[in-house]
């Protein structure tokens, strides 16, 4: 391709040389070549009647025996030297009448070089413009690149990633180890008749490390890594996506063995026939081509397709069948051991002081993904650098965690004493109710400092990473969520809008118990709600699977459950109103109370100072804060 681009330049040089030689030859052919000595001899023999010197050319009229002048034109090497040398002779012949007239013309004529110089300049300009146009047409014009896959070869910054860089995903790495072993030793599998999966689908919530796992597999196997996003296939022009799919697999075959990684494959792999405009849209044609290409390479070519999504329920069944994406690898949120390992990986390039205990941080961040943990350490480091501290401390991580889960503290917001008291009573209602519920997770932090959109918050931390909730645990969560509203009604004689988020969450939880999990005796063990998110292409024409009578019963049971929880919470707060008022006074004095301080207060002890570890171990994103 580069040699082809040089062809116009070579042709231009050849044409320019031909023009130069032609002009030079044309100029020389018009002159009679005569030695300079012979020119001088003609003047000495008084044969020159008249002459004209123009530039380097002399035109002489010579006398002849026939009486008709002979005109001779020839070139002079230096007209000025000729004039100086012949000056006295020319003057004598002019005085004697031998030389009738002569003239030295000062105007400058054209030489072959001056004739070709404009051609050279104009040609170079045209050549430059042509080169710029062709370069843009080949590389920058979208019309010529629509059919090319926008792949990224390798990893960012050229940094090799291996399984040692991936923490908290031991089972996922074990699944991918088979792929790595196949790419390193394909004969080991082919000789026994085994076939490695064509494709592996990484399924999990955002931030759990699906892309990192794919890069680590390529780095561990030492093969090329081609990455592309599912949205890069889709364009408004029909056929472009299918062309890019073909180009992607052509690129992989040229550099095989290789791993193709398609991120967010649900952008192009949605179920066919789910659109409202028919089944011939661009996305479906792109998916058809992807299905064909995944069947189009053999098991021995050394190409593995890895894809990532957090919506496997909307993918086309033909994409998930054996022979295409043979295997699904669930990449979930890490447990407490995995979170500690991830924190240690991300803490390697940061300066931390002796107060930082990563085990405590891991225990206090239930539900965090790898991306969340990386962001936590980064936010803590930013806070330490902003306050000119040389190393990251536990207090920095505490503030970073509060900033991530609830937003930055708005200490500059001016609040009246009345607003602070309303917020304190609201949060105290949550905390006291939680403390007296046997199976509820313990309170870890209470604050009336505004953060984000909330005027205050009460955090509670799960005792472990268990996600198996019982009916009683869910019911007690509803009771605790109503604690703020109940406290306002009991001790203020009025209610505020601060409980809106609590009511929404309590209602959703109650509806799930009644209509999804079969926890209502009147309705029985029947699920009336779909467990997944709404996918308009699939659910547009579906109808409810239950009658209006059942819908009314669901509403009645949800309200009855909420009313029962409200009465339960009111009894708890009425019985322990002395503890609630003590907590309100502490919040108005200190603005924030840690979990240990709260437990001391509930046990009648003196409110002590909070340590950095106790403050950090005060909340978690897994247990969303109840907002004031």
Torsion from C-alpha of 8, 9, 15, 19, nearest 10 degrees: 140
CA distance 58 to 73: 6
Checking 345-353 for CB contacts under 8 A at 24+ apart, the result is 345/165, 345/167, 346/373, 346/374, 346/377, 347/377, 350/377, 350/381, 350/392, 351/390, 351/391, 351/392, 352/391, 352/392, 352/393, 353/391, 353/392, 353/393
> CB under 8 Å to 627, separation ≥6 — which residues?
453, 454, 455, 456, 457, 498, 501, 502
The conformational region for residue 379 under phi > 0 = left, psi -120 to 50 = alpha, else beta, is: alpha
pLDDT score, position 1:
47
- Give pairs for 405-409: CB < 8 Å, separation 24+: 405/459, 405/619, 405/620, 405/621, 405/625, 406/451, 406/452, 406/454, 406/457, 406/625, 407/451, 407/452, 407/453, 407/454, 408/451, 408/452, 409/449, 409/450, 409/451
pLDDT tens figures, 491-506: 988 888 888 889 999 9
| pLDDT confidence band for 625 (50 / 70 / 90) | very low
Reduce the DSSP state of residue 464 to 3 states and report it: coil
Cis status, amide bond into 39, omega within 30 of 0: no
Annotated domain spans of the chain? 2-105, 152-330, 336-404, 417-627
Decide: residue 418, CB within 10 A, 0-12 exposed, 13-18 middle, 19+ buried: exposed
CA-closest candidate to residue 213, choices 185, 183, 171, 253: 171
φ/ψ region of 220 (left if φ > 0, alpha if ψ in -120 to 50, else beta) reads alpha
Fold of the 336-404 domain: Helicase, Ruva Protein; domain 3 (1.10.8)
Level-2 CATH architecture, domain 152-330:
3-Layer(aba) Sandwich (3.40)
Given the residues 175, 284, 399, 427, select the one marked as catalytic: 427
Residue 132 has pLDDT above 60, yes or no: yes
Check pLDDT > 90 for residue 575.
yes
Kind and range of the H or E element at 515? helix 500-515
Average pLDDT over residues 156-170: 76
Q: Which of 2-11, 191-200, 205-214, 508-517 has the lowest mean pLDDT?
A: 2-11
pLDDT the model gives residue 115: 57
H or E element, residue 397: helix 394-406
List the Cα angle 44/47/48 in 5-degree steps: 95
β-pairing verdict for 57-62 and 70-75: antiparallel
Side-chain-side CA neighbours of residue 502 (13 Å): 28
β-sheet with 303-309: strand ranges across: 152-153, 224-229, 258-263, 303-309, 199-203, 325-330
User: Is domain 2-105 in CATH 3.30.720.210, yes or no?
Assistant: yes
For 29-49, the three-class secondary structure string (H helix, E strand, C coil) is HCCCCCCHHHHHHHHHCCCEE
Q: Give how far Cα 455 sits from Cα of 407, 523, 587, Å.
A: 11, 39, 13
141-152 confidence digits (pLDDT tens): 454 555 565 666
Q: Could you report the per-residue pLDDT of 367-377, keeping only the tens digit for each?
A: 888 888 999 99
Break the chain down into helix, strand, coil percent, rounded to 5: 55, 10, 35
Query: β-pairing, 303-309 with 258-263?
Result: parallel
**pLDDT tens for each residue of 273-314:** 655 444 456 777 888 888 888 876 665 567 888 888 888 888
Pairing of strands 152-153, 224-229: antiparallel
Across 93-117, b (16+ Cβ under 10 Å) vs e yields beeeebbeebeeeeeeeeebeebbe
Residue 530: per-residue pLDDT: 66
pLDDT digits (tens, 9 = 90+) for 391-440: 998 888 888 888 887 777 776 666 777 888 899 999 999 999 999 999 88
Q: Region 163-186: what's the mean pLDDT? A: 83
Distance in angstroms (rounded) separating the CA atoms of residues 15 and 19: 6
Across 375-502, the runs of DSSP E, i.e. the strands, are 443-447, 457-460
CATH classification code of 417-627? 1.20.58.760
In the chain, the percentage of residues whose pLDDT exceeds 90 is: 13
Most confident listed range (36-50, 59-73, 476-490, 608-622): 476-490
Lookup: tokens for 42: 């003609």
427 an active-site residue? yes
CA proximity to 498, closest of 510, 486, 490, 507: 486
Looking at 161-237, which runs of residues are DSSP E strands? 199-203, 224-229
Round to the nearest angstrom and report the end-to-end CA distance of the chain: 67
Assigned token pair, 137? 């047409």
The yes-or-no verdict on residue 525 having pLDDT over 90 is no
Work out the pLDDT band at 563, boundaries 50, 70, 90.
Answer: very high
Q: What is the pLDDT of residue 294?
A: 81
**pLDDT for position 621:** 36
Over pLDDT 70: what percentage of the chain? 76
Mean pLDDT (the chain, rounded): 78
Q: Indicate the helix (H) or strand (E) that contains 72.
A: strand 70-75
pLDDT value at 606 more than 60: yes
Give CA separation, 483 vs 431, 459, 477, 566, 602, in Å.
Answer: 8, 13, 10, 8, 16
Alpha carbon of residue 532 to chain centroid: 27
55: left (phi over 0), alpha (psi -120 to 50) or beta: left
Least confidently predicted of 53-67, 466-480, 551-565:
53-67
Whole-number Å distance between alpha carbons of 174 and 360: 28
Maximum Cα–Cα distance for the chain, whole Å? 150
């Amino acid at each position: 391709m580069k040699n082809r681009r040089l062809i116009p330049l070579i042709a231009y040089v050849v044409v320019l040389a031909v023009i130069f030689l032609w002009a030079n030859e044309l100029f020389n052919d018009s002159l009679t070549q005569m030695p300079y000595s012979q020119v001088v001899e003609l003047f000495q023999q008084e044969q020159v009647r008249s002459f004209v010197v123009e530039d380097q050319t002399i035109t002489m009229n010579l006398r002849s025996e026939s009486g008709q002048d002979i005109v001779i034109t020839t070139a002079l090497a230096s007209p000025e030297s000729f004039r100086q040398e012949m000056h006295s002779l020319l003057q004598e012949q002019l005085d004697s009448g031998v030389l009738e007239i002569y003239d030295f013309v000062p105007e400058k004529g054209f030489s072959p070089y001056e004739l070709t110089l404009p051609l050279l300049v104009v040609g170079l300009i045209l050549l430059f413009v042509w080169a710029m146009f062709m370069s843009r047409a080949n590389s920058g014009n979208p019309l010529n690149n629509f059919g090319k896959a926008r792949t990224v070869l390798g990893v960012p910054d050229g940094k090799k990633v291996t399984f040692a860089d991936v923490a908290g995903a031991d089972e996922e790495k074990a699944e991918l180890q088979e792929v790595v072993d196949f790419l390193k030793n394909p004969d080991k599998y082919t000789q026994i008749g085994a076939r490695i999966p064509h494709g592996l689908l990484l399924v999990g919530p955002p931030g759990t490390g699906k892309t990192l796992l794919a890069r680590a597999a390529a780095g561990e196997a030492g093969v090329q890594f081609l990455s592309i996003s599912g949205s890069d296939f889709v364009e408004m022009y029909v056929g472009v996506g299918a062309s890019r799919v073909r180009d992607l697999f052509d690129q992989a075959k040229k550099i095989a063995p290789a791993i193709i990684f398609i991120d967010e494959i649900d952008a192009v792999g949605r179920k066919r026939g789910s659109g409202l405009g028919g089944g011939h849209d661009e996305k479906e044609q792109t998916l058809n081509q992807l299905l064909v290409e995944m069947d189009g390479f053999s098991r021995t070519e050394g190409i593995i397709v890895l894809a990532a999504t957090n919506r496997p329920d909307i993918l086309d069944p033909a994409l998930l069948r054996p022979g295409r994406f043979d295997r699904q690898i669930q990449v979930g949120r890490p447990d407490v051991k995995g979170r500690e390992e991830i924190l240690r990986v991300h803490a390697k390039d940061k300066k931390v002081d002796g107060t930082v205990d990563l085990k405590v941080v891991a225990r206090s961040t239930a539900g965090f993904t790898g991306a969340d943990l990386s962001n936590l350490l980064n936010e803590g480091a930013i806070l330490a650098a902003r306050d000119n501290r040389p190393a990251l401390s536990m207090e920095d991580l505490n503030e970073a965690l509060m900033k991530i889960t609830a937003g930055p503290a708005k200490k500059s917001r001016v609040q009246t004493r009345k607003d602070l008291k309303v917020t304190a009573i609201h949060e105290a209602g949550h905390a006291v109710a939680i403390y007296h519920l046997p199976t509820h997770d313990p309170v870890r932090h209470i604050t009336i400092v505004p953060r984000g959109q909330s005027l205050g918050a009460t955090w509670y931390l799960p005792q472990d990473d268990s996600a198996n909730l019982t009916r009683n645990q869910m019911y007690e969560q509803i009771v605790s969520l109503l604690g703020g509203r109940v406290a306002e009604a009991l001790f203020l004689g009025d209610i505020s809008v601060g409980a809106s988020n609590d009511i929404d969450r309590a209602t959703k939880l109650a509806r799930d118990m009644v209509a999804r999990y079969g926890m209502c005796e009147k309705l029985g063990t029947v699920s009336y709600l779909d467990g997944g998110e709404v996918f308009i292409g699939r659910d547009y024409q579906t109808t409810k699977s239950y009658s209006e009578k059942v819908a009314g019963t669901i509403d009645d049971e949800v309200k009855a459950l909420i009313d029962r929880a409200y009465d339960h919470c009111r009894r708890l707060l009425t019985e322990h109103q002395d503890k609630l008022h003590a907590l309100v006074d502490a919040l108005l004095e200190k603005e924030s109370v840690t979990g240990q301080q709260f437990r001391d207060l509930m046990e009648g002890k003196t409110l002590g100072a909070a340590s950095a570890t106790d403050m950090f171990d005060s909340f978690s994103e897994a247990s969303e804060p109840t907002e004031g």
